Amino acid sequence: MRYLTADFVLPISSDPIEEGVVVFNDQEAIEKIGTREEFPSADLEIHKGVLLPGLINTHCHLELSHMKGLCPTGTKLIPFISTVVKQREFEQEIIQEHIDLQDQAMWDVGIQAVGDISNKADTASCKKTSPISYYTFVELFDMMQPTMTESTITSYRQVFAEQARGRGNEKSFVPHAPYSVTPALFEFINKANPENAILSIHNTETAPENELFRTGKGGFVEFYKSMGMSLDHFESPGTNSIDYVLKNLTPKSKNIFVHNTLTSPKDIVAAHTWSDQVYWASCPNANLYIENNLPDYKLFIDNKAKMTLGTDSLMSNWQLSIWEEIKTIKRYQSYVPLSVLIEWATINGAVALGYEEVMGSFVVGKRPGVVLVDCDWDGDNTDISQTQSKRLL
Ligand SMILES: [Zn+2]
């Protein structure tokens, strides 16, 4: 048994407890939640700060961990993607080493589960032994080229087969982004996933994305041309990019829209009308890294959107830490209450990835992990600018 206590405990499912104690058994499941006077003082492990359940990262690309620092900041998305495409040649040993290092780094800063995008099977062996639970989103794209759809499906069936499942790991087929997936590839994804599959898609991350669907012109036409591909066959629907997704993707149990930097209130309402199990993952540090922009969180809060947080890859971030994402939102849109951001990072993420029965809050029977944040807790007025998160259990 371990009796973990700090100045405050944030169970998430109930109000903060001053000098709260969370008791864990040897299987790391919660036996009891209380306050210090209920337990022998010699048993208590006393910490300064607040205790939170393990944090949930709903959007990562662990397989890109070796690409840290290779892309300059502030280039906007299309030059960024071009760099990703060009820089994929690395020795397997280097790739593997960085995957293992970042898996450990995420664990150390308190990340309990990850929604992880995979275009290859490089992360499979790490995920099979990691203490982190991974929902692997095997991500397909055919560059909007009908001639590439069949070969894409064949190669990604193989990636899917090799990816981890079991021991808390899950997997599904997902579309990359509206501008890179044909209707036929959406059709494959709809049919290949079981009813309870959780899906995810990059959404409205850059201005040329809506431009392509509204007018059939802009940066993505040029991008594909530079890769020797034509979009002459593409008929723009004259709508926003998300409307193309909602038309072609069957809502499964849950869908996570990722980034949403330029998402409008109309887009949010359209998605909520499409399905009542829509989740929105924000990756603020990656948005600042690539586009030097952030979503307008007020639009999402006003529309009662179910928000979660992600780190994106180390290619577009300085570290893989959900607490650092919270600090960034607090720095630039400090009107979002800290208690709300902590819910996004814990229970909302756990529900989005289907892990809410074991993680996301301190509730008897769950095995949510424990994170210590070194702050002086003062509710939503807490200054977290100089704080850090670290795993205790
Ligand atoms: Zn991403």
**pLDDT tens profile 156-191:** 999 999 998 999 999 999 999 999 999 999 999 999
Q: What is the mean pLDDT of residues 4-23?
A: 98
| Residue 20 dihedral angles phi and psi, to the nearest 5° | -70, 155
How far does the centroid of ligand 1 lie from the alpha carbon of residue 287, in Å?
10
What is the per-residue pLDDT for 252? Answer: 82
How far does the centroid of ligand 1 lie from the alpha carbon of residue 16, in Å?
33
Residues 355 and 365 in one domain: no
- Across 278-315, b (16+ Cβ under 10 Å) vs e yields bbbbbbbbbbbbbbebbbbbeebeeeebbbbbbbbbbb
Which pair of structure tokens corresponds to residue 306? Answer: 């179910």
Residues 86 and 104 in one domain: yes
CA distance 386 to 375: 8
What is the per-residue pLDDT for 153? Answer: 98
Residues 121 and 148 in one domain: yes
Place of tokens 């979002």: 336
42-46, 67-71, 359-363: range with lowest mean pLDDT? 67-71
Residues 187 and 257 in one domain: yes
- Going by pLDDT thresholds of 50, 70 and 90, the confidence category of residue 319 is very high
How far does the centroid of ligand 1 lie from the alpha carbon of residue 359, in Å?
23
What is the per-residue pLDDT for 253? Answer: 87
Structural domain for 190, as ranges: 55-359
Residues 256 and 353 in one domain: yes
Residues 29 and 144 in one domain: no
How far does the centroid of ligand 1 lie from the alpha carbon of residue 378, in Å?
34
Residues 24 and 89 in one domain: no
Beta-bridged to residue 46, according to DSSP, are: 5
54-68, 83-97, 140-154, 171-185: range with lowest mean pLDDT? 83-97
Which pair of structure tokens corresponds to residue 321? Answer: 């830490």
Residue 150: partners with Cβ closer than 8 Å, 6 or more residues away:
none
Residues 139 and 42 in one domain: no
pLDDT digits (tens, 9 = 90+) for 209-236: 999 999 999 999 999 999 999 999 999 9
CA distance 124 to 387: 33
pTM over 0.75, yes/no: yes
Residues 178 and 321 in one domain: yes
- Going by pLDDT thresholds of 50, 70 and 90, the confidence category of residue 88 is low
What is the per-residue pLDDT for 115? Answer: 98
How far does the centroid of ligand 1 lie from the alpha carbon of residue 178, in Å?
13
CA distance 84 to 64: 9
Residues 81 and 17 in one domain: no
How far does the centroid of ligand 1 lie from the alpha carbon of residue 171, in Å?
16
Percentage of the chain beyond pLDDT 90 is 95
What is the CATH number for 270? 3.20.20.140
Q: What is the mean pLDDT of the chain?
A: 97
Farthest CA pair distance, the chain:
74
Domain total for the chain?
A: 2
Residues 101 and 37 in one domain: no
Q: What is the mean pLDDT of residues 319-336?
A: 98
How far does the centroid of ligand 1 lie from the alpha carbon of residue 202, in Å?
6
How far does the centroid of ligand 1 lie from the alpha carbon of residue 255, in Å?
15
**By the 8 A CB rule, do 132 and 320 touch?**
no
DSSP label at residue 217: -
Q: What is the mean pLDDT of residues 36-44?
A: 97
CA distance 46 to 54: 18
Flag whether pLDDT at 47 surpasses 90: yes
- Going by pLDDT thresholds of 50, 70 and 90, the confidence category of residue 54 is very high
Residues 61 and 26 in one domain: no
pLDDT digits (tens, 9 = 90+) for 123-144: 999 999 999 999 999 999 999 9
Residue 29: partners with Cβ closer than 8 Å, 6 or more residues away:
365, 366, 367
What is the CATH number for 31? 2.30.40.10
How far does the centroid of ligand 1 lie from the alpha carbon of residue 283, in Å?
9
